[in-house]
Amino acid sequence: GAVVSQHPSWVICKSGTSVKIECRSLDFQATTMFWYRQFPKQSLMLMATSNEGSKATYEQGVEKDKFLINHASLTLSTLTVTSAHPEDSSFYICSARDGRTQNEQYFGPGTRLTVT
Amino acid sequence: DAKTTQPPSMDCAEGRAANLPCNHSTISGNEYVYWYRQIHSQGPQYIIHGLKNNETNEMASLIITEDRKSSTLILPHATLRDTAVYYCIVRARPGYNQGGKLIFGQGTELSVKP
């Protein structure tokens, strides 16, 4: 099956700093990518949807100025958590939709962010 | 997207079939039923999807009722590695808003026991 990678797999940062997480589709072109957040013992929560070359669409309650999303190519999307705080500590998961079929959607392995 | 209802947890003996139910009574004609699973601290893994016919692949079988208001995911011979949270999601088919978004509910936590 198709592969989606994320980097880094885990990161620890200090409060007030910014952290960038990369999401890549390795063997297919992803016209649409999605970013999710998951707190312990909870389900995945969709944060935003991004289409290549255009601005991301954020879900209600997600601060677009805090969670910056860039989808500059068909294989790469980045999520930058700006001015991170301890409450931003979470498991961040990206997902990519295959541009050919528009039906298949694959998930990355996730990035564990801890803000101290 | 239509909502789904799943039992919060289930147990299954190793080697036996695991039958995971899902109710989606408000599903509309342009929506598929998708199943994903998430093993602890990993990203979700696609299992199977269907529209109205039963589907089978190397991982599982999907049985959808004739009225499409419910479905069952069947793992024919569960192993310890199948222990995970299983999510049933209803999503619009391609061509309708590019297939819509995958919105996760609480899922069913399946524990396969030796």
Please identify every stretch of chain B with a pLDDT value under 50, giving residue numbers as ranges: none
CA distance B86 to B111: 11
CB contact under 8 A, A93 and B41: no
Taking a C-beta distance cutoff of 8 angstroms, is the pair B43, B37 a contact?
Answer: no
Instruction: Identify the bridge partners of residue B5 per DSSP, sorted by sequence position.
Output: B23
Across chain A, what does the average pLDDT equal? Answer: 92
- What's the confidence (pLDDT) of residue A57? 93
Q: Which residues of A touch B47 (CB under 8 A)?
A: none
CA distance A1 to A31: 17
CB contact under 8 A, A108 and B43: yes
Q: Which residue has the tokens 């997902």?
A: A95
Report helix, strand and coil shares of chain B as percent, to nearest 5: 5, 45, 50
- What's the confidence (pLDDT) of residue A98? 82
Q: Give me the phi and psi of A57, to 5 degrees please.
A: -105, 120
CA distance B69 to B64: 8
- What's the confidence (pLDDT) of residue B100? 76
CB contact under 8 A, A34 and B101: yes
- What's the confidence (pLDDT) of residue B95? 60
With 70 as the cut, is the pLDDT of residue A102 above it? no
Q: Comparing A20 with B1, which gets the higher pLDDT?
A: A20
The 10s digit of each residue's pLDDT in A25-82 is 998 888 899 999 999 999 999 999 998 888 899 999 999 999 999 988 989 999 999 9
In eight-state DSSP terms, residue A26 is: S
- What's the confidence (pLDDT) of residue B75? 98
Q: How far is CA B40 from the centre of its chain?
A: 17
- What's the confidence (pLDDT) of residue A92? 98
A-B C-beta contacts closer than 8 Å: 56
Q: Give me the phi and psi of B18, to 5 degrees please.
A: -105, 125
